[in-house]
Chains A and B, each alone.
Chain A
């Protein structure tokens, strides 16, 4: 038999039993559709994360901290023990920053400085942690500006504000805020108010050793809220240049323990962010930093953990899809076995006029693979349409909460081809038993007239 004949025969035979063929194929369509939607969701999420990482150049960032900074995050009792142990730890100060700046492949180094302040604008007041950001980074890809410009000079009294903070300040038209003046008030130490012998009054809030200082800034840019903003080196709703920041009187702590620590002024910065020119350089730079007695953390290392998580997610999603497909393949087996019982005589006739076992086997294999092909193609289409709808609905509701539009599903070419190929493979597997059974039909028995 010719290939074209097999194909024509299988379509003809399936067409003869339209309803049953349709229902069986529809089962495969649902199975493949579920599988495709599930995998494309897993891949879409993964693509979103890795794309935003790449887009924001997150793989190019390294965070440096000291051992003591690490301990500070933990139990304060341990810190006290350890700190007496070795006082000669490297301090993350400007000298160290200069040294790291000199390393090969390092593009920028900036201390992670954030300080609390209150922001007054549009007759509203909000409390924020302002981050100090060098102007070259304000102009980098890391900073996604929705409108306006980044500040260009480090001593400019200018700032970048995020759109979500503007929303909180009840600004409706973001562009109207551009160029406007904004008031920032910080709290600063006022030593005249403090009496070290009477901590209890401080803790009770009777005599706070703070004074309020106000500054006026100009809004130059409005930053976009990031979809996956968590792990970026930018962790704030407001950014000011370092030159200006140096002039601000403020409390350089974000942790209550800092307040009561020995005022040795040796602790340096808690965290320093390093931008490297390429992710390939990260390992070497990390090694050098380790030699300096400092600890570092790179997003790219973290991404490996993400990948493991994604693999797990993919597997769970694929298993759900596979279950649907398994049910569908049982449908194929059922349909094909039914078809053999109905066509018992026909198989006998075909054998009597010269069909070999292989011919009969192939006829049934082609029929189930046509079910698989149609199921695969339409299943892919169904998965695409359904995931598109889900995407629209989800984004519609998330947009109300200010989340930017995200494509949650991804259809790489290998998924499209793979889905159809997989569908055909599963159908062929489902067709093995029926095909072997058809080939075993004894023409003498099949043709015996009753």
Chain B
């Protein structure tokens, strides 16, 4: 199977005052299309940095990222915005929904930047909300939804532009164990039924072991041990 995204000696160094912090060091990995890659590691191990780099939110200090033949690491800001808009969807621990927007408006947000007309935005957002079984709650604001529901709205938002890759940064960090499992199940379901490639960062190794097809472990910015991620 072909790789949907691969990195080559990916390094990210943050400069904080005079101190240089190596967040990621020479990470080389290749993620196959349709894989469910789990990334574990203690906090500060570079998991989120890796995800931000893969999602085009951040740029590496050195090394390359190649997504479907395109060098993300050499893109300018506009190209990165377009990449985030169309090729990749992201979900976060704190859901990152806009509090004043309804569920439907939150899901439709990426379509706004894609220049989709209002009527179509609504329609497409409804379809995706329906997929995560939240259609009845479309007019609720995030504060009126439970944590699990909010994360499902976030998943819907990540999927509305039909990306091939979904990046999940600690998606269960703010959820109880039952809801956590439910959310990971939604991701696993999307991975299997719709061939969506998922990269999920979590420190809950148990969940990752159960649902992911591959698992890597990050320690101090380096891949410490990997299972089938090569």
- When A346-B98, A354-B161, A444-B52 are in contact, do A2 and B92 touch as well, CB less than 8 Å? no
Would you call A359 an interface residue if the criterion is a C-beta within 8 Å of the partner chain's C-beta atoms?
yes
CA distance A16 to B115 in the complex (A): 23
* Interface mask (B183-197 → A, CB under 8 Å = 1, otherwise 0): 000000000000000
Q: How large is the interface on A (under 10, 10 to 19, 20 to 34, 35 or more residues)?
A: 20 to 34
Residue contact A447 to B78, C-beta cutoff 8 Å: no
Interface residues of A in 349-401 (CB under 8 A from B): 349-359
Would you call B81 an interface residue if the criterion is a C-beta within 8 Å of the partner chain's C-beta atoms?
yes
Would you call B177 an interface residue if the criterion is a C-beta within 8 Å of the partner chain's C-beta atoms?
no
Residues in A whose Cβ lies below 8 Å from that of B94: 449
CA distance A356 to B85 in the complex (A): 9
Residue contact B157 to A353, C-beta cutoff 8 Å: yes
CA distance A358 to B77 in the complex (A): 10
CA distance A348 to B96 in the complex (A): 9
Residue contact A356 to B78, C-beta cutoff 8 Å: yes
* Interface mask (B24-55 → A, CB under 8 Å = 1, otherwise 0): 00000000000000000000000000001001
CA distance A9 to B101 in the complex (A): 11
A446's closest neighbor in chain B, by CB? B96
Q: Count how many pairs of residues, one from A and one from B, have CB atoms less than 8 Å apart in the complex.
A: 69
Partner of A357, one of B58, B78, B115: B78
Partner of A444, one of B58, B78, B86, B115: B58
* Interface mask (B76-118 → A, CB under 8 Å = 1, otherwise 0): 0110011011100010111011101000000001101111011
Residues in A whose Cβ lies below 8 Å from that of B158: 353
- Closest Cβ of chain B to A23, distance in Å, is 20
Residues in B whose Cβ lies below 8 Å from that of A2: 115, 117
27 residue pairs from A and B, CB less than 8 Å apart: A1-B113, A1-B115, A2-B115, A4-B118, A9-B112, A16-B100, A346-B98, A349-B96, A349-B97, A350-B113, A351-B84, A352-B84, A353-B85, A353-B90, A353-B157, A354-B84, A354-B113, A355-B81, A355-B85, A355-B113, A356-B113, A358-B78, A359-B81, A444-B58, A447-B57, A447-B92, A449-B93
Q: B: which residues have CB within 8 A of A?
A: 52, 55, 57-58, 77-78, 81-82, 84-86, 90, 92-94, 96-98, 100, 109-110, 112-115, 117-118, 157-158, 161, 173
